[in-house]
Chains A and B, each alone.
Chain A
Amino acid sequence: MEKSQFKSPWMPYLLLMPQMVIIGIFFLWPAAEAIKSSFFLEDPFFGNATFVGLDNYRDALTASDYKRTAWFTALFTILVSLISLGLGLMLAVSADRVLRGQSTYKTLLMWVYAIAPPVAGLIGVMLFDQHIGPLVDFAALFGWDMRIGVNYWDTGIAMIIVSTWKQVPYCFIFFLSGLQSIPSSVKEAASIDCRSEFRRFWTITFPLLAPTTFFLLILNITYAMFETFGTIDLIVKDQPGNSPVTLVYKVYRDGFRGNDLGGSSAQSVILMLIVLALTIVQFRLIERRVHYN
């Protein structure tokens, strides 16, 4: 059967025009510029650009602070993605199981999603502040002298904690929804077939959550790599010092602060390739899932 569709010579173009025009001006043009300028070295004073081929890329990739940032980004991404995934799952499992108060818990745990990353960053900065931050006092109880902004790893850990904190509600919502869409008949059959709740979870429930888990993983990775910009910006406080940053932050810093347009653009393109790879992985796995269904 043919899918019913309209045939009009001009209407679809009219409908698409706003979207395509906006994409053309505010995406394609800047994206093309970014790619183009990644191959040039710009002179900030005279505005002349010289073509340098892949030099910007080579410089970017071999620079020691690029490698450092890349390592931190990788670690940061893995930790934030996995920990928020794990915490979200744990909370969702418990929320799914309680008989009373589920909606209250749901509301209380969910609304943190609405907080902007920089706002979370600000609160984090204060909580980890040397003078007034209670978390610093808490750490001191264990003999840990936390110095955000001074000690590399202290700052890094603060960033990881705040970023994870902000992402947990998101994972929680998705996992809870995934759990609740498992038919109760399946859960009942499982309770007959398997005594241990622990085993039941890992052999029946978790595999059924696989699509949700995978989807969240990709989203978390995107979040950690890009959307945490605001959090990091606030914690770093514009003081380069000895603070770890993510690759996306470096793009901003080198471009806007450091005026290294070429290098910043090269870094942008590298990041774009990473996102492309992630997207391809995502699509491959979705295809496989569709086949196995």
Chain B
Amino acid sequence: MTTTDTEQTAPKAQAALSRKSFGGVRVYDHVILWLGVFFMMGPLVVAFMTSTFDHVLIHKQGMQVGFGGEFLSTYETVLTQQGGFTGAVTGWLMTQNSFILGIGFALGKIVVSMLAAYAIVYFRFRAATLCFWVIFLTLLLPLEVRILPSYEVVQQLGLLNSYTGLILPLIASATGTFFFRQFFKSVPNELLEASRIDGAGPFRFFVDILVPLSTTMIAAIFIIMFVVGWNQYLWPTLMTTDETYFTLVRGIKQIMQIMIGADIPKYNEALAMAILAMLPPAAVIIIFQRMFIKGLVEQEK
């Protein structure tokens, strides 16, 4: 069943099924959905609006709704002013680091997983089952649980406070590989056979045929992994003490610590940073909504 099929027949089916409609509009459902939107977006709207106010005012009157006129100055401050304990980092620098982490992680994950999945699906070799189960093992022990020894390993390798150390350990998980493995298994066998007859060896088959066929999947995974990478918290918190490597999400903790120490915490700046931290991933998944959802749902299989 194609998507267009469902979209065309579904409204008719819905109309037939919606006997509780009021002038063709299902009131109950819209109410539920609006409550949902209110619950989900409410806190964010308040947070954003509050960030446009002066922090002293916030302290006295609580969080605000409306626009406080401090939008430009607050955001400019967060982006450009030296923050943090050593004064070495600005919001803008943190944003850059977040991009590096997000894009680096997504690219690294895709390359490594695709190659590994290709090997497992399309080659017959003795260590295949062993490799598969080792990769599977990584599902058993999430990073949060092995955080301490991971830190020590990275420390011993001298990779603390580096982009490599930030990105590489995160790639040690099975998700990407299993995803591509599932996808490669769904590619018809005949394509491989036809290409073998056409003289394509493993390298050519991968480059000329498999990769072009995988472009939508690659895009979907890239989006998901970009968000995952951008939102990394625990790992960057632990292994970057040099503030020039802070990401926005890491910086949130920093801001919190500053806020705890202050008499009148700069709520507005903290919220502004939170908003900045959520904007790029949100923008990505809204713009690429279809691909993003497709990538998420494919993982179910």
Contacts and interface: CB of A to CB of B under 8 A. Distances in A.
Q: Do A and B contact each other directly (Cβ–Cβ < 8 Å)? A: yes
Interface of A: 1, 3-8, 11-13, 15-16, 18-20, 22-23, 25-31, 33-34, 37, 87, 90-91, 93-95, 97-101, 105-119, 122-127, 131-134, 137, 165, 168-169, 172-174, 177, 180-181, 183-184, 187-188, 191, 197, 211-212, 215, 222, 226-227, 229-230, 233-234, 237-239, 248, 251-252, 255-256, 261, 264-265, 268, 271-272, 275-276, 279
B249 A118 contact: yes
B285 A110 contact: yes
Given A126-B267, A255-B147, A18 B140 contact: no
Interface in B33-84: 33, 36-37, 39-41, 43-44, 46-47, 50, 58-59, 61-63
Interface string B171-192: 1110001000000000001001
Which among B14, B50, B123 has the greatest number of chain A C-beta atoms within 10 A?
B123
A108 B145 contact: no
Which among B29, B127, B289, B296 has the greatest number of chain A C-beta atoms within 10 A?
B29
Given A26-B153, A110-B285, A116 B231 contact: yes
A93 B149 CA distance: 44
Contacts of B40: 108-109, 112, 165, 168-169
A100 to B, nearest CB: 7
A155 to B, nearest CB: 15
Given A116-B232, A132-B58, 6 more contacts: A8-B125, A12-B127, A16-B119, A27-B172, A34-B145, A116-B278
A188 B13 contact: yes
A137 B62 contact: yes
Contact of A16 (B11, B39, B116, B231): B116
Contact of B144 (A3, A127, A177, A252): A252
* Chain A interface SS verdict (over half): helix
B145 A272 contact: yes
Given A91-B36, A123-B47, A174 B63 contact: no
Contacts of A137: 62
Interface of B: 1, 6, 9-11, 13-20, 24-26, 28-30, 32-33, 36-37, 39-41, 43-44, 46-47, 50, 58-59, 61-63, 111-113, 115-116, 118-120, 122-125, 127-128, 131, 134-135, 137-142, 144-150, 152-154, 157, 168-169, 171-173, 177, 189, 192-193, 196, 201-203, 205, 227, 230-234, 237-238, 249, 252-253, 255-257, 260, 267, 270-271, 274, 277-278, 281-282, 284-286, 289, 293, 296-297, 300
